[in-house]
Chains A and B, each alone.
Chain A
Amino acid sequence: MKVKICGITSLEDAQAAVRAGADLLGFNFYPASPRYISPQACRAIAEVLRPTGVCLVGVFVNAGVEEVRSTLAECGLHLAQLSGDEPPEVLAELGGLAFKALRPADSQALDGMLARYPARASAPAWLLDAARPGEFGGTGQSADWRLAAGLAARAPLLLAGGLKPENVAAAVRQVRPWGVDVASGVESTTGRKDFHKMVEFIQAARRADLAAEPASAPRAGKYGPYGGQFAPEVLMPALAELEEAYAAAQSDAAFQAEFERLLAEYVGRPTPLSYAARLSEALGGARIYLKREDLAHTGAHKINNALGQALLARRMGKRRIVAETGAGQHGVASATAAALLGLECVVYMGEVDIARQQPNVQRMRLLGAEVRPVQSGSRTLKDAVNEAIRDWVANVGGTYYLLGSALGPHPYPAMVRDFQSVIGREARAQILAQAGRLPDACIACVGGGSNAIGLFQAFRADPGVALVGVEAGGEGLATGRHAARFGDPRKGRPGVLHGTFTYLLQDADGQVAQTHSISAGLDYPAVGPEHAFLHDSGRAEYTSAEDGEALAAFQMLARTEGILPALESAHAVAEAVRRAPKMSRGSILLVNLSGRGDKDLDTVLGLLDRQTGGAQ
């Protein structure tokens, strides 16, 4: 779904529109328009905007070919929108440079116009606006959406006319246009754009578009529009082999029995569900229960998935596994599973993470794994994934890539979810047994999203249970230093990274953004594709906790419950700390304590030292 913000008259508004996520910007050269801008002023704005990659459109009314051509060139614009009564020859002469704005009164008028103005070869083919004799667009009236729907089915249509944040979703659902065009609907006063209205408009349009995606014939590995297999060709056969092997393992009772046996006898499952009495008391609201993945062998939920996949690797006859790790928990879990099953193990880890998660680096080495430092890019989890995939590409025959979260190309997101869904299955039975009812909300931190999806899965069909994912708010969403893919609409937009289409923190040029979090395991620019779907469909909600809140929650849990949580898990605790006081004493929050905090002691002690140092 493309969004065009039209009638830009200042650089400030233009930049706000780009930040809000606009794809096209319109500049109106019709002198009678209240949003008129001179070519000189437009040129100054266009110069600044060109590097952002947005498409810049000049809007003309009854201008001649030469005027259009020279204005486009002079201002550095990409396309012309012809909003007047231009004869078809003007359009033909401008070739691919221009598209026509149509303002038909009825279907007969539209047919006449289409005979004169055939679809442009590339998108948008046309713009459709409301009819209002004697005026040339921007009238604030709605176009005929029924006519528009017919047109949109033929070629990429840009829909205009009276759109605003409140009605754009309905328009998108009915018309299914290529893009939507808005001017007055996102203004505070005529000619002045309002940033928040633009964000609201763009999000409403995009969500409606994604939700209206045809539900028929879903491809394996797609979650609505998300997921898929955006992988280099070398890996496609390997992914097919994996998909097949996983399907076979799923229906193989012996494989499932072996997995369950290991979860019980080796991991120590089921992990307990603990009622956090003193924490709940201190917050004075909802009762908080903790799902204790920190008590699983190796100290986090990661072992569930690592064992499942390592068993699969062995079943496939692979002797070597490669893995990426951020916090080191997945690296440790992979090294552990490899040791247990007699496989060779190489773990890629960013240099920044190696420095902040030393205990886990040492553990991996003691477990016999080779830890390869990654020096490229931001030297964190994202770059470790890049290197692990490159290794897999080069050794695709005998190597198994053991991906640590519900990410990556199909079948990984589904496979990791399935191996982690034991968390939710246990927790649901435990809360029913201990509290006699389901929780009001399930809360989990979301890095790639494996502990969260593993918990959510069992509660998805329970309408009374809210599902809450907590992203890393880092130093605050406004600072740009965070990893909140859903929380920051400016940078978090659907895109492709590491083989999957999902929400991705990126700049306007599509370059992946640097992220920041106090916790290495949440410090990643993309999120599992199933979470993207749960987000858009509204079944789950996503919030964020900042570094400071996570640190405070860490301390609070330590002092009230005698538990040092992983900094990742502390984000989920922070959300519970926020919510519980506002809820009645009868209500229940179920928090996934995904891991324990031993690995984070250096980080936490360093920060606390600095805090007390600063206070003195």
Chain B
Amino acid sequence: MNAPRDLNRKPTGLERIRAAFQAANRAGRAALMPYFTLGYPDAAASLEVIAAIAGAGADLIELGVPFSDPLADGPTIQRSTQAALEQGMTVRGCLELTARLRERGVSQALLLMGYANPMLAYGVELYAADAARAGADGLIIPDLPLEEAAQAQAACLANGLALVYLLSPASPPERIAAAAGATSGFLYLVSLNGVTGARSRLPEGLEGFVARARAAARTPVAVGFGISTPEQAAQVGRLADGVIVGSALIDSVSRSAQPARAAAEFVGNMLSALSPQPPGKGAGERSFVGEN
């Protein structure tokens, strides 16, 4: 399928993701990529929270598409996706919320993070087409390893979407090379062997893992899973091009009576921790591995 794509001037998803990493890089820091569950605690509230995350200056946003059996998620995200499903959230509802975010002027790169089955049930090609039309820039599918991803890969390609592959500290060199070669947008490094969820300490050996991945990568590398505090974010930000924070953000939003405000504050704190000290002009450019 090599039909000419329509020539409207919107940037493709890939371009938007690339620009987000470059902008953060120019500001001398790692890009911040918060994760939030679409439809949690309900559709309207999630829209407010995500708009607030965008308003507070997050660089990219991961939008969680709820699934009944989220294998790779810990209790916090499980509870949030379960609550969203109980509120009637669907895949189509998630795409509609994504479109609403764009209508509200959210200009950040948006990545839909969801498990394989709802996408298969929707139809892989339709899902990619509708996601792109709704304004999403890429997909992250935690239970779709490279070996099973051919169809999704083609659908993403046809719609200008990134398909982001994940790596874990257990990934051997062959898998690192394969994922680095196949991923688009960025390479998602799962910091630890385990499910999502806030942790009190960063895993040992993270530095080596990021270095190995970076050596193979042709895109920016971002680290997620377990990052909870601004201090941890700052530490990870010194190693990687992007920092992904999910459970800790959801925890703080859940605890607050003013979810949008809590989200904005959380993102603000993370951003200032990532920003070069002292902040402002004069911060040197980070050395940044070239991307394709």
Bound-complex Cα distance A59 to B245 (A)? 45
Is there a chain B Cβ closer than 8 Å to A229's Cβ?
Answer: yes
Contact A234 B193 (CB under 8 A): yes
Contact A386 B71 (CB under 8 A): yes
Contact B116 A496 (CB under 8 A): yes
B119: chain A residues within 8 A (beta carbon): 510
Nearest B residue to A512 via CB reads B68
Of A118-126, A340-348, A353-361, the one with at least 4 CB within 8 A of chain B: A118-126
A377: chain B residues within 8 A (beta carbon): 68-69, 82
Contact A233 B3 (CB under 8 A): no
Of B45-53, B54-62, B126-134, B261-269, the one with at least 4 CB within 8 A of chain A: B126-134
A237: chain B residues within 8 A (beta carbon): 168, 170-172, 175
Is there a chain A Cβ closer than 8 Å to B291's Cβ?
Answer: no
Is there a chain A Cβ closer than 8 Å to B122's Cβ?
Answer: yes
The minimal Cβ–Cβ distance linking A175 to chain B, given in whole angstroms, is: 17
Is there a chain B Cβ closer than 8 Å to A2's Cβ?
Answer: yes
Contact A122 B125 (CB under 8 A): yes
The residues in A between 215 and 233 inclusive whose CB is less than 8 angstroms from any CB of B are: 219, 228-233
Of B139-147, B228-236, B249-257, B281-289, the one with at least 4 CB within 8 A of chain A: B139-147
Is there a chain A Cβ closer than 8 Å to B11's Cβ?
Answer: no
Partner of B72, one of A382, A393, A495: A393
Is there a chain B Cβ closer than 8 Å to A394's Cβ?
Answer: yes
Bound-complex Cα distance A396 to B167 (A)? 14
Contact B90 A496 (CB under 8 A): no
The residues in B between 29 and 85 inclusive whose CB is less than 8 angstroms from any CB of A are: 67-69, 71-72, 74, 78, 82, 85
The minimal Cβ–Cβ distance linking B162 to chain A, given in whole angstroms, is: 16
Contact B118 A509 (CB under 8 A): yes
Is there a chain A Cβ closer than 8 Å to B8's Cβ?
Answer: yes
The minimal Cβ–Cβ distance linking A555 to chain B, given in whole angstroms, is: 36
The digit string for B1-33, where 1 denotes a CB below 8 A from any CB of A, is 111111010000000000000000000000000
Partner of B122, one of A121, A496, A510, A512: A510
A581: chain B residues within 8 A (beta carbon): none
Is there a chain B Cβ closer than 8 Å to A568's Cβ?
Answer: no
Contact B69 A394 (CB under 8 A): no
The residues in B between 137 and 180 inclusive whose CB is less than 8 angstroms from any CB of A are: 142-145, 147-148, 155, 158-159, 165-168, 170-172, 175, 179
Contact A51 B121 (CB under 8 A): no
Bound-complex Cα distance A234 to B159 (A)? 28
Contact B116 A125 (CB under 8 A): no
Bound-complex Cα distance A509 to B4 (A)? 31
Given A55-B126, A96-B129, A232-B72, verify A394-B121 contact (CB < 8 Å): no
The minimal Cβ–Cβ distance linking B161 to chain A, given in whole angstroms, is: 11
Partner of B90, one of A389, A493, A509: A509
Contact A53 B92 (CB under 8 A): yes
A495: chain B residues within 8 A (beta carbon): 117, 120-121
The minimal Cβ–Cβ distance linking B274 to chain A, given in whole angstroms, is: 25
B132: chain A residues within 8 A (beta carbon): 96
The digit string for A384-400, where 1 denotes a CB below 8 A from any CB of B, is 00100110011111000
The digit string for B183-201, where 1 denotes a CB below 8 A from any CB of A, is 0000000100111000000
Bound-complex Cα distance A123 to B123 (A)? 10
Is there a chain A Cβ closer than 8 Å to B91's Cβ?
Answer: yes
The residues in A between 447 and 506 inclusive whose CB is less than 8 angstroms from any CB of B are: 493-499, 504, 506
B158: chain A residues within 8 A (beta carbon): 121-122
The digit string for A2-34, where 1 denotes a CB below 8 A from any CB of B, is 100000000000000000000100000000000
Contact B68 A122 (CB under 8 A): no
Is there a chain A Cβ closer than 8 Å to B105's Cβ?
Answer: no
Bound-complex Cα distance A393 to B90 (A)? 27
Is there a chain A Cβ closer than 8 Å to B279's Cβ?
Answer: no
The residues in A between 222 and 276 inclusive whose CB is less than 8 angstroms from any CB of B are: 228-234, 236-238
Bound-complex Cα distance A520 to B171 (A)? 36
Is there a chain B Cβ closer than 8 Å to A616's Cβ?
Answer: no
Given A51-B90, A377-B68, verify A121-B3 contact (CB < 8 Å): yes
Nearest A residue to B78 via CB reads A376
Given A53-B122, A509-B90, verify A122-B128 contact (CB < 8 Å): yes
The minimal Cβ–Cβ distance linking B73 to chain A, given in whole angstroms, is: 8
The residues in A between 511 and 536 inclusive whose CB is less than 8 angstroms from any CB of B are: 511-512
Bound-complex Cα distance A497 to B118 (A)? 11
Contact A232 B142 (CB under 8 A): yes
Bound-complex Cα distance A396 to B195 (A)? 12
Is there a chain B Cβ closer than 8 Å to A78's Cβ?
Answer: yes
The minimal Cβ–Cβ distance linking B2 to chain A, given in whole angstroms, is: 8
Contact A23 B69 (CB under 8 A): no
Is there a chain A Cβ closer than 8 Å to B181's Cβ?
Answer: no
Is there a chain A Cβ closer than 8 Å to B88's Cβ?
Answer: yes
Given A51-B90, A122-B129, verify A236-B175 contact (CB < 8 Å): yes
A511: chain B residues within 8 A (beta carbon): 67-68, 85, 118
B142: chain A residues within 8 A (beta carbon): 232-233
Is there a chain B Cβ closer than 8 Å to A156's Cβ?
Answer: yes
Is there a chain B Cβ closer than 8 Å to A578's Cβ?
Answer: no
Between B6, B74, B143, the greatest number of chain A beta carbons within 10 A of the residue's beta carbon is seen for B143
Is there a chain A Cβ closer than 8 Å to B208's Cβ?
Answer: no
The minimal Cβ–Cβ distance linking A348 to chain B, given in whole angstroms, is: 13
Nearest B residue to A23 via CB reads B123
Bound-complex Cα distance A55 to B92 (A)? 10
Contact A120 B3 (CB under 8 A): yes
Partner of B120, one of A234, A389, A496: A496
Bound-complex Cα distance A382 to B69 (A)? 9
Given A95-B6, A230-B143, A393-B195, verify A497-B117 contact (CB < 8 Å): yes
B88: chain A residues within 8 A (beta carbon): 51
Contact A121 B193 (CB under 8 A): no
A382: chain B residues within 8 A (beta carbon): 69
B1: chain A residues within 8 A (beta carbon): 119, 121-122, 125, 155-156
Partner of B130, one of A78, A118, A494: A78
The residues in A between 51 and 69 inclusive whose CB is less than 8 angstroms from any CB of B are: 51-53, 55
A219: chain B residues within 8 A (beta carbon): 147
The residues in A between 356 and 412 inclusive whose CB is less than 8 angstroms from any CB of B are: 376-377, 382-383, 386, 389-390, 393-397
Given contacts A234-B72, A237-B171, A497-B117, 11 further A-B contacts (CB under 8 A): A2-B123, A50-B92, A78-B126, A119-B3, A125-B3, A156-B125, A229-B145, A234-B193, A237-B170, A376-B78, A510-B121
Measured CB to CB, the residues of B under 8 A from A are 1-6, 8, 67-69, 71-72, 74, 78, 82, 85, 88, 90-93, 115-123, 125-126, 128-130, 132-133, 142-145, 147-148, 155, 158-159, 165-168, 170-172, 175, 179, 190, 193-195
A-B contacts, 11 of them at CB < 8 A, read: A55-B126, A96-B133, A119-B2, A123-B126, A229-B148, A230-B143, A233-B171, A233-B179, A234-B193, A377-B69, A499-B143
9 nearest A-B pairs in the assembled complex, by CB-CB distance? A510-B121, A510-B118, A95-B6, A123-B125, A122-B129, A394-B194, A234-B168, A511-B68, A233-B166
Measured CB to CB, the residues of A under 8 A from B are 2, 23, 50-53, 55, 78, 92, 95-96, 118-123, 125, 155-156, 178, 219, 228-234, 236-238, 376-377, 382-383, 386, 389-390, 393-397, 493-499, 504, 506, 508-512
